[in-house]
Amino acid sequence: MGFNALLSVIVLAAVFWLTGCAYNHKQFQVLANPDTDDFVIQIDDYGQFWDSSEPDRALKRVSELSKTSNVIVVLFVHGWHHDAGADDENLRDFSLSVADTRGLLIDGSNPESAVYRLSRKNLTGSESLSIVSIYVGWRGRSLPWILDYATFWGRKAAAERVGEGDLREFLGRLNSLYRERRDLRATGATRNFLGLTSFGHSFGGQVLFRSVAYEIENELLTKAADIKDSRSPPKQVTDLLGFGDLVVLVNPAFEALQFERIWRLSTALEFGAQQNPIMLVVSSAGDVPRQVLFPMGRNLDALFLRPDFRPGQRTLWTQALGEYEQFRTHSIDLSSSSSSLTPSFDPRLYTDNPCAIANLDLTNLPSIAGVRLTPTDHHRINNPFLVAHASTTVVLDHSKVFEETLRKFLNDYIAIAQGKRMLTAESSSACK
């Protein structure tokens, strides 16, 4: 490459660098069908909705559907290099994944759906189910082509702002609706079930965690205070609710230090058999960006922009959640068992022996959808926070978050977790 050509590339890169605050900061036109239950919610770099009517429309739709049928809400927050563009790979793969989930859970012509339909009928009296999908789009891609790899610090900071802005308020309203329907079901006012599972990938994990962590931390503090102030012998916690049914963070790109408070507060408590899982972190052994590039970026940041660390803080600051070994509670690998639900799982248990599900330790299941969830030395019985390190046979690398093995594992794990949620909300006293 000649000097002039090299100079042109440098100048072009500088122009893009200087104007990066404008590139791709826009609302994308989404070709949405108003008759479908699929929503795309877009957020700007300051954490504000581009169009507040879309989240309102999504909440209204969930509320209306849940009055007459069973509903599951699936929410996904994308990560770095992605956005809400119609051609975005994450948006496309999420849509395909939701379509597959609808076929698995609803389609009567699909033999695999039988176990899920029977479970719903035993739990709610009806096989009916609507699945509402919500794709949360933000400015994960802020420069074109390979130049976007230079935006680590800017997109990390943007993810934090997005998680602390309008999205937090929206998720709070969604969680309030979820708990309202849960309480109605618990009192017998309705048999309809409203499920809510949220996923965050990479910097999208940062967005989602920022949005829900504050409420989870406050709930942990309240439980600890209740136990401390009680004059009776300490009881195991069985009713820590969290956000929805489960928060799933796949290859989350944020510091383990941000999770330390939840880890510290939760390890001070003992959890009973009827405690439900609240958060599942899945990190791939093949995730080179989080294993190499993330600590490089954090160490460089610490070198110029951070005060001195106290003992133990540097490792927490420079390693991503999931890569910090002391927080790992499980490993995930392929199992030789069946590719369906946990071996010997019978959906008739929901009616014949509901306490078997209500007291099931979801941190210690032998096999789910052909995947083995193995506790580590840091595992605690009935711990609502699972941090799992996955082999490359389950999650290939940083970006492969929609592959079949992982999707089937999460589908079945969430299905059992939702069944346990329903039973513990209804009959926890009867199953003690």
CA distance 67 to 181: 9
Confidence of residue 386 (pLDDT cuts 50, 70, 90): very high
Yes or no: say if 371 and 333 are a contact pair by the CB < 8 Å rule.
yes
Distances (CA, A) of 401 to 185, 186, 251, 397: 33, 34, 9, 8
Yes or no: say if 278 and 223 are a contact pair by the CB < 8 Å rule.
no
Count CB atoms within 10 A of the CB of residue 283: 26
Question: Can you read off the two tokens belonging to residue 126?
Answer: 């009806």
CA distance 247 to 256: 16
CA distance 408 to 370: 9
Q: Where are the domains of the chain?
A: 32-431
* Predicted TM-score (pTM) of this structure: 0.93
| DSSP one-letter code for 104 | H
CA distance 36 to 256: 38
Closest CA to 70 of 48, 45, 102, 93: 102
Yes or no: say if 70 and 130 are a contact pair by the CB < 8 Å rule.
yes
**Tens-place pLDDT, residues 14-55:** 544 544 567 899 999 887 666 689 999 999 999 999 999 999
**Tens-place pLDDT, residues 318-332:** 999 999 999 999 999
- Rounded to an integer, the average pLDDT of 380-398 is 95
CA distance 102 to 113: 9
**Tens-place pLDDT, residues 69-87:** 999 999 999 999 999 999 9
CA distance 262 to 284: 22
CA angle 383, 389, 395 (to 5 degrees): 125
Name the pairing type of β-strands 71-77 and 279-284: unpaired
Q: What percent of the chain clears pLDDT 90, i.e. is strictly above it?
A: 72
pLDDT of 43 reads: 98
For 39-62, give one letter per residue: b (16+ CB within 10 A) or e. bbbbbbbebebbeeebbeebbebb
